[in-house]
Amino acid sequence: MILHGARFANLPECSAGVPRRCERDNRRGGLNMFRSGAFLAEDFLHDGFTTRGQFIRNLAIRGVYQLIPTGIKRNRCTDCDSSKG
């Protein structure tokens, strides 16, 4: 879609039932997720959708976050119900 000129933008309101941040983050992590994200970021770089600087930034920020163990992320999360562990 990007290569064919589709335009993307953020919406001011939620458009779907999106999981809360903690629920989402519990699924998004680990080495496999990091590798998958790195391949996607590399595709975006080669297709000209992102710059080299954006590519490096994405790998650094997202990669580090994805490699943090879920238990540590859960302790930092403010929208989790601690009783659900």
The tens digit of pLDDT for each residue in 1-52 reads 777 888 888 777 766 665 555 555 556 677 888 888 899 999 999 999 899 9
**CA 14, 18, 19, 21 torsion-angle sign:** negative
Tokens of 7: 């335009």
Kindly report whether the global pTM for this prediction surpasses the value 0.75: no
Q: How confident is the model at residue 76 (pLDDT cuts 50, 70, 90)?
A: low
Residue 82 has pLDDT above 80, yes or no: no
CA distance 41 to 53: 11
Per-residue pLDDT for 53 more than 50? yes
Q: How is residue 84 annotated by DSSP?
A: G
Torsion of CA 19, 20, 21, 26, to 10 degrees: -60
Q: pLDDT confidence of 73, banded at 50, 70, 90? A: low
Confidence grade of residue 83 (pLDDT, cut at 50, 70, 90): very low
In whole angstroms, how far apart are CA 45 and each of 5, 13, 40, 42, 57?
16, 29, 9, 5, 12
